[in-house]
Amino acid sequence: MVIVRSVVALAASSGWYIFQMDVHNVFLQGGLNENLYMVVPEIMDEALIVVLVYVDDLLVTSSTLVHIQKTRKILKSKFKMKDLGELKYFLGIGFFRSKKGIYMCQRKYALELVSQMGLSGIKPAETPLEFNHKLTSLEFDKEIKPKNLAHDKLLENRGAYQRIIGKLIYLTLTRTDLLFVVQALSQHMNAPKQSHLDAATGVVRYIKRTTGLDLLLSANGELNLVVYYDSDWASYVETRRSVTGNLVKFGEALIS
C-alpha cells in the first residue's frame, strides 16, 4: 500500500490525471506477490506514463490526458479489462481530489466496523487509548499479581479479537492516529485477555467519533523524501525494550 500512496502522492503533487482499470483474467495468470510498473512503448517518448499493477487493479497516471487515453486503449487491446474512469474507489478506499490534493478516505469501512461490533448506539470515546494505559500479558500479570487478575482472563474466542485487530490494521492505511494503539493491541493476538478486548472496543468507540478523518496527499511541496524516526526508550512494560516508530513523507504527503 506504500507504493499506491506514493504513486497517488506523485499524481497529486504534480497535478497529473489518474485513472483506474480492472483486469478480468488476472487470476488465470498464476500467483503474483510483487508490484509491477509498466511503460507503453508506443508513446513512451511523448510523455511519462506510470502504470501501477496491484493484484487485479491498475492505476494509470500521467500529465497528459491524451496519452493516458492512448495507454488505456493499448492495454485494453492486449488484455481483457474494464475501464473504471478517474480514480474514485480503490481497494476499499475512497479517493477525492480537491485544490489541496487527493484525499484518501475509509469512512464507509469505519462505519461498517462500528456497526458490526454493535456500537452504533454507544457513547463515542475522546481518545483511542487512555493516557499511560499499559497492556500486559497473562504471564506478566501472574508475576506482578494485579488486583483485577481474577477478572482479566484469557478470551475463550480469540478469533473474534483477531478479526477486530485485522480490521483495525486495515483502517490504519488512512488513519495514522490509530497506528500506536493498534500496534500495541496486535502484540497480544495470540493470547488476548478481556482487557485487550476492552481496549479494542475503546478504539472503535473513538473511531465512531472520528469517522470523517481523511489522509491528505497534498498538492503542495517539493517531491523530496523525508524520514522521521523516534524511539520511546524502555517503554515496553514487560521486557523494558524500546518502542520505535518512523514516518516517511513524499513532499507533504505521508506515504508510510
| Per-residue pLDDT tens over the stretch 131-162 | 777 787 777 767 666 666 667 788 888 899 99
Residue type, 103: Y
Q: Is the pLDDT of residue 64 over 70?
A: yes
| Per-residue pLDDT tens over the stretch 2-49 | 888 888 888 888 888 899 888 776 554 555 555 555 544 444 444 566
Least confident range from 36-45, 58-67, 81-90, 96-105: namely 36-45
Q: Output the pTM of the full model.
A: 0.80
Domain chopping of the chain, boundaries = 2-91, 105-256
Give the span between the Cα atoms of 87 and 218, in whole angstroms: 16
Sheet holding 81-86, edge to edge: 36-38, 50-54, 57-62, 17-23, 81-86
Q: How many residues does the chain have?
A: 256
Longest alpha-carbon distance in the chain: 72
Which CATH number fits the domain 2-91, given the four candidates 3.30.70, 1.20.58, 2.60.40, 1.10.287?
3.30.70
Give the span between the Cα atoms of 137 and 200, in whole angstroms: 15
